[in-house]
Structure 1
Amino acid sequence: MTGRPLLSLKGVSKVFRNGGDVLEVLSGVSCDIMEGEQVCLLGRSGCGKSTLLRIVAGFLLPDAGHVEIGGERITAPGSDRCMVFQEDALFPWLTVRENVAFGARRKMPRGTLDSEVNRYLEKVGLASFGDYLPRQISGGMQQRVALARVLILRPRVLLMDEPFGALDALTRREMHKLFLSLMKETNGTSLFVTHDVEEAVTLADRILVMSRTPGRIRADIPVALCRPRDRFDGTFVRLCREVQDLLASEAVIA
């Protein structure tokens, strides 16, 4: 990690309007994320986690405050930020190989692209599935394709909105290992949303616990545990309990 933040959120607020109704979703959210950090947004449903992620992606603009990447203000989507969603969002008529190549077609010559697609399929363990259609592979495999499709673009920040939430427990743990391996290999930076406390403690270097609407960062919790992390380790269990207590107290406050 370097000394200068890669991603900075500065007083980000967001309001949604529907006729005469006004809903304040986010209020004054500020934080810095360093290069190479894995940072989790954790909170109850409706606290604005996904909205904040979409503001960082450039899909939404804040009503107050702003977001910077590398010191430059974010005003629109860009290839320096790529999103992985809970639903795989693959093109069903394209093969696995074609899905991985889709976003990079305009950025790479054909020969380089073919080589890079093969390399990333190998990284995610799908080298022999390149000619399959999405419907012919499992949900876990589809999420591997989605991960390869964004990583081939080499984004500065990987944004993930509950990407493993729809997977069964064993597949989810396999995806955790794959994600951490890829982030370590590339010194990648990520900001991801989850409502699963154990997943947050497993993956994150820091956990940003958000309050109920309007969403604010209530706590910034460092996760100073060596990897790979043992979910039965006493320190791991205590940290999970600490975070769960924070979420529970937020419910009482609300």
Structure 2
Amino acid sequence: MKTAFITGANRGIGFETAKQLLQKGFYVYLGSRNMENGTKAIQKLKAENLTNVEAIEIDVTDNDSVKNARIEIGKKTDTLDVLINNAGINGGTPYTALEASKEQFLSAFDTNVFGVASVTQAFIDLLRKSPEPRIVNVSTSVGSLTLQSDPNWMGYNFAKYVVYGSSKAALNMFTVHLAYELRGTPFKVNAVCPGYTKTDFTGYNGGEVEEAGKRIVKYALLDKNGVTGRFISEETNPTTGEIPW
């Protein structure tokens, strides 16, 4: 049975992604910063007869918490097939470049970039033992420098969230380097935008969470001929999915 670890999976897109991987026969380690919330999420899944799942407490901004999560999962399996770095924050208001505070930037980068790097480094040994390891870094088209500077982009006049966008642009760069360092191996590493989705993250505006989950799962299940080192947004580009950095 293949295994997956998803950070920030007790709600929203992360929860839906866990659900869909369980439906496809995975054993899922559901990461949650708060164990009580993680346990509630597990109960919801088990109520749908999705039982191959357990909660793992992890705060991606806390090195000790990341190490403890690696220890806990290491007690249960010696191989991890999929890592989905889903945990993220938007940095809060104000959203503008002239008003956003240093503290907002630090907080967003701590979760969206440094946390992803820490988790990836902590679990890379388990991933290396998989015959087809996959890493999906959950990103956003808002983090595309090319789109953000294109007046013809559909989000040009309203998707201006400087803290969130800057942190995701940095995450994209991390993804490029990670894919490069793992070139010539069975790894597939991609940055995937699930799209603007109805969750508490967006005030329940946008598309359906099921579609967002499918977009992430698709790149968690790539075969040996799948792409790597790419930036994907099927919402933005339904044809090939690839969008410019």
Scaled by the length of structure 1, what TM-score is found?
0.32
Greater RCO, CA 8 A, separation 6+: 1
Q: Which structure has greater helix proportion?
A: 2
Flag the structure with larger Rg. Answer: 1
Scaled by the length of structure 2, what TM-score is found?
0.32
